[in-house]
Amino acid sequence: MRGIYLEKLVVKPILELFKKKSLERTYVDLTRSAKRSKIMNSYQFCSE
């Protein structure tokens, strides 16, 4: 019983935080890659 309580108290919040952080990170990576591809496209457009 105590192990389950400990899991709810400690493990779950850490997992939630980790999920949130990883989601934020993937979002940032996506926006960065989108910006990068836009910049690359504009360079290609300028060079043509």
How many Å apart are CA 27 and CA 9, to the nearest integer? Answer: 28
What separation in angstroms does the CA of 24 have from each of 9, 27, 33, 37?
A: 23, 5, 14, 20
* Average pLDDT, integer, range 16-37: 89
How many alpha carbons lie under 13 Å from residue 5 in its C-beta half-sphere? 2
Q: pTM of this prediction?
A: 0.50
Three-point CA angle 17, 5, 16, nearest 5°: 10
Q: Tell me: pLDDT of 47 over 80.
A: no
pLDDT at 10: 84
- Is residue 7 very low, low, confident or very high in pLDDT (cuts 50, 70, 90)? confident
How many Å apart are CA 44 and CA 17, to the nearest integer? Answer: 40
